[in-house]
Amino acid sequence: MNRAEIFDKIEPICRKIFGEGVEFTEKTKATDIEKWDSMNHVTLIAAVEKEFAVTFDLMEIIGITTLGDFVDLIEKNKLNADH
């Protein structure tokens, strides 16, 4: 699964949590989205973990600042799972 495919699965999750009318890109930050508060951050993490059957550790979660960071983590987790 490439970056675009991963992001294509993350985007509908974001729309469900944060609503329509927001442009989502890999560079989108929490500060770019009014509804991206701490509670919705946890909701997003849980939904992404479920969608991709991965679990992020605390240090990974702390490092998430953009939607691209989720893509990076999923790539890393999938790569590690293949080895």
Stated pTM of the model: 0.88
Find all residues with CB under 8 Å of 18, minimum gap 6, and list them: 33, 35, 36, 40
Q: What is the pLDDT of residues 37-59, one digit of tens each?
A: 999 999 999 999 999 999 999 99
| Top-tier CATH class for 3-82 | mainly alpha
Q: Domain boundaries in the chain? A: 3-82
Q: What is the pLDDT of residues 6-46, one digit of tens each?
A: 999 999 999 999 998 889 999 999 999 999 999 999 999 99
Find all residues with CB under 8 Å of 26, minimum gap 6, and list them: 3, 7, 66, 67, 68, 71
